[in-house]
């Protein structure tokens, strides 16, 4: 039960922070969801860092990892919003921004995970 609560509270904190970041940033650029993009990239970096620190041993406990990676990052990142926003690009026929946003999100996201793992390894 304790572990489920750790995931629950971590997810709640992540969701609120996602909202606080995305709400003011998404309207800044027409046809580009900057807040969602930044949250997803930061979430990728953080999950790489947290899982890397967890794998190092003695830095993050299993419960810390549940709270931070499973809970916080799970609530913070917004893949469902990411998918919905891709649908809106398709619906509007904006294939160029669809391609740019989709491939940059995936490419930068993977690089951010690698960077997080590298940071954790070198701490």
* DSSP secondary structure, 79-115, as one string: HHHHHHHHHHHHHTT-HHHHHHHHHHHHHHHHHHHHH
Binding residues: 74, 77
Model pTM score = 0.83
First and final CA of the chain: distance in angstroms?
Answer: 32
Q: What span, in angstroms and rounded, lies between the C-alpha atoms of 25 and 37? A: 10
pLDDT values of the chain reduced to their tens digit, one per residue, 123 residues: 999 999 999 999 999 999 999 999 999 988 889 999 999 999 999 999 999 999 998 899 999 999 999 999 999 998 877 888 888 899 999 999 999 999 999 999 999 999 999 999 998
Asked if 97 contacts 85 with a C-beta cutoff of 8 angstroms, the reply is: no
What's 30's DSSP letter? T
Compute the half-sphere exposure of residue 64: CA atoms within 13 Å on the CB side of its CA.
12
The answer to whether 55 and 119 are in contact (CB under 8 A) is: no
Which residues are part of a known binding site for Na(+)? 74, 77
Determine the Cα–Cα distance for residues 9 and 72; give it in Å rounded to an integer. Answer: 8
């Amino acid at each position: 039960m304790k572990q489920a609560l750790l995931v629950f509270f971590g997810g709640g904190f992540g969701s609120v922070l996602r909202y606080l970041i995305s709400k003011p940033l998404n309207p800044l650029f027409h046809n580009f969801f900057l807040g969602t993009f930044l949250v997803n990239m930061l979430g990728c970096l953080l999950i790489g860092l947290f899982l890397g620190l967890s794998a190092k041993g003695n830095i993050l406990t299993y419960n810390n990892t549940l709270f931070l990676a499973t809970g916080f990052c799970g609530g913070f990142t917004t893949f469902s919003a990411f998918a919905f926003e891709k649908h809106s690009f398709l619906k509007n026929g904006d294939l160029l921004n669809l391609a740019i946003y989709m491939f940059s999100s995936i490419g930068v996201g993977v690089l951010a995970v690698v960077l997080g793992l590298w940071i954790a390894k070198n701490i």
